[in-house]
Amino acid sequence: MSNEAASPATDAHADHGQQSTLRLALGAVGVVFGDIGTSPLYAFKETFTGHHPLSVGPDNIIGVISLIFWTMMMVVTVKYVSVIMRADNRGEGGSLALLALITRLSPGGTRSAQLVLLGVLATALFFGDAIITPAMSVLSAVEGLTVVEARMAPMVVPIAISILLGLFLFQSRGTQKVGAIFGPVVLVYFATLAVLGVVNIMANPAILWALNPVHAGQFFASAPLAAFLALGSVVLAVTGAEALYADMGHFGRKPIRLAWFTLVLPALMINYLGQGALLIANPAAAANPFFLMAPEWARLPLVVLATLATIIASQAVISGAFSVTMQAIQLGFLPRMKIVHTSASAFGQIYIPAVNWALLVLVMFLVLGFQSSSNLAAAYGIAVTGTMLIDTVLVGVLVLTIWRWPMWWAGPLLALFLLVDLAYFASNLTKVPDGGWFPLVIGIIGFTGLTTWSRGRALMQERLRESVMPIELFIKSAAKAATRVPGTAVFMTTSPTGVPPALIHNLKHNKILHERIMLLTVAIDQVPFVSDEDRVGVRELGNGFYRILIRYGFMQEIDIPAVLRTVENCGPRVKMMETSFFLSRQTLLASDRPGMAIWREHLFSWMMRNAESAMDFFKLPTNRVVELGSQVEI
């Protein structure tokens, strides 16, 4: 067994360069922890004013705070920060990166269909969370204006929409700039959380008893149904843990852990304890305990600070959505999209316009449709808990079959994770009629798109292979008879064997062959990054034909001309002005052949037509590309 298989991947992430851990931790605070950091705005309030409200009594207050604390310790500290973040795929996190890691380290590189579907489903649910989080967090902050002045209520939705519009317009500037600008603001925000909490705890120190897990047990024992329903609101305190894992590639494991243990966790728990102390002293404060913790003169500045913090909360899942989308494209679950790298030194920091604008439209729909954070709370939680549950299953496979942790302690730990995740997921299912249907609809749409593209590509490649001619036969029969012209022809092909359709069509129509012909295949490995030394493989086929394989990691930017300029062992160096690139453009014909349902074949065809062109995606020179079409039945 390799060292990598025997123990979790190391935390080395070359793209972080020489930046200090402290500086990266500050950036992580400004981007990664925004989601979970703004949970105090609504999580505790929703347990007493939401769709399944608890009575505001000392026992319930202490029981809920105890649940929040131990949920945060079990789900975030133990499960994500201590265990799942060890399952980084050479620095990258998220469900697809975890799935790729399992595949790469499994014997023979195999992965079961069930595991693939789970990873894809988690990805689809994550997109649902990425839509709800910005709407929920910004609305909850702006609603603080109604605590300052009740007559501001009609302005809440327009202000929230303006803020969200500005946030999405700012995305093209890049994650690094967003983190650098808002990191210091969020430091002030977390310090404010702690100060407000301490002031209220000092007025009622008895709330500290809530840290005893016995109170969480008593809460369940005294009112099992009410406590079970309350889990649907309590879980809002840990939303963002899954984004924390997906965003790991932006900042690295060590800086995220440092920020969590030294700043984020203490500040959050002190604030929740403070909110509990306030409610014990003043039950009427349940209407909005976060803002009512502050003295009247400080509430308007607190609204401004909280609003700035919720912009970062939105940033956490938006940047995570960009990372997950790029992984899905490279691993073959989504069609090609335009990807903009916003940092010269960190490949993980990207911007995807299509995802950005789709999120913007759907977030606006949510804000206008639900109107308030309390209404949105009913939709919030299902996607999060579903993703967390799937992450537990995937990491369980990794821990037991690849890392081979001892069953006597890995088994009980995983069982505890599953028990907690299942309880929270089941509680959130009760929200479906009140708005929980929305993330489920998004998840179904996303799952359908991801699986349709993956299956469609496999079918198309299978159909193309049915009529492929062996390259050796082609070279013997056609290469010597055809007229050879100066220059280099590069034929892009998805198959590392046989003759590309574009080569056959070119010979059929133009009746010529170039002096040097490269059959080029781009392969995406199950790792985030492939080194330059391992990038290119060249095999000479004879008569001026070469088979070239270029390998990339699933988080790397593809640039074919840049790589070809460095290729050796296949004649003179490649010059772009003497090179032509031939691409095959397939027109798909839906048919009744076994494979996919007709409606999915039409969907796949639509996705293929709207994918970014191979010329742009591979960065081929526009004046050196020839496209040759063919028809394929799937």
pLDDT tens string 343-369:
555 555 678 888 999 999 999 988 888
How many other CB atoms are found less than 10 A from the CB of residue 494? 15
Give kind and range of the element (H or E) at residue 134. Answer: helix 113-142
Q: What share of the chain is helix, strand, coil (3-state, %, to 5)?
A: 65, 10, 25
Cα–Cα separations (whole angstroms), residue 95 to 34, 121, 180, 322, 384: 20, 9, 27, 13, 13
Predicted TM-score (pTM) above 0.85: no
- Residue 550 sits at φ, ψ, to 5 deg, of -115, 125
The sign of the dihedral angle between the CA atoms of 377, 378, 383, 386 is positive
Helix (H, G, I), strand (E, B) or coil at 16: helix
Inform me whether the pLDDT recorded for 288 exceeds 90.
Answer: no
Task: Give the pLDDT score at 343.
Answer: 59
The amino acid that residue 136 corresponds to is M
pLDDT in tens, 129-166: 888 888 888 888 888 888 777 777 788 889 989 988 88
What residue ranges do the domains of the chain occupy?
3-455, 470-633
Question: Model confidence at 194, in pLDDT bands (50, 70, 90)?
Answer: very high
* Gap between the Cα atoms of 229 and 235, Å rounded: 11
Cα–Cα separations (whole angstroms), residue 41 to 37, 153, 161, 216, 291: 9, 17, 18, 22, 8
Question: Model confidence at 277, in pLDDT bands (50, 70, 90)?
Answer: very high
pLDDT in tens, 32-68: 787 788 889 888 888 888 777 888 888 889 999 999 9
* Gap between the Cα atoms of 312 and 185, Å rounded: 10
Average pLDDT in the chain: 82
To the nearest 10 degrees (0 to 180), the angle between helices 437-466 and 113-142 is 140
Cα–Cα separations (whole angstroms), residue 538 to 447, 547, 574: 37, 6, 14
Q: What's the alpha-carbon Rg for the chain, to the nearest Å? A: 27
Give kind and range of the element (H or E) at residue 484. Answer: strand 483-492
- Written as six digits, the tokens of 113 are 């269909």
* Gap between the Cα atoms of 549 and 609, Å rounded: 26
- Written as six digits, the tokens of 492 are 């892009």
| Contact assessment for residue 346 and residue 249, using Cβ atoms and an 8 Å cutoff | no
Task: Give the pLDDT score at 632.
Answer: 64
Inform me whether the pLDDT recorded for 199 exceeds 90.
Answer: yes
* Gap between the Cα atoms of 383 and 429, Å rounded: 10
pLDDT in tens, 393-431: 888 888 888 888 888 888 888 899 999 989 989 988 888
Nearest CA-CA partner of 333 in 127, 591, 491, 627: 127
The average pLDDT across 541-556 equals 86
pLDDT in tens, 514-529: 889 999 998 888 777 8
| DSSP states along 182-212 | HHHHHHHHHHHHHHHHHHHHHH-GGGGGGGS
Task: Give the pLDDT score at 108.
Answer: 54
Fold of 3-455: Amino acid/polyamine transporter I (1.20.1740)
Which residue would you say has higher pLDDT here, 490 or 26? 490
Task: Give the pLDDT score at 152.
Answer: 78
Task: Give the pLDDT score at 62.
Answer: 92
Question: Model confidence at 308, in pLDDT bands (50, 70, 90)?
Answer: confident
Nearest CA-CA partner of 163 in 193, 142, 133, 194: 142
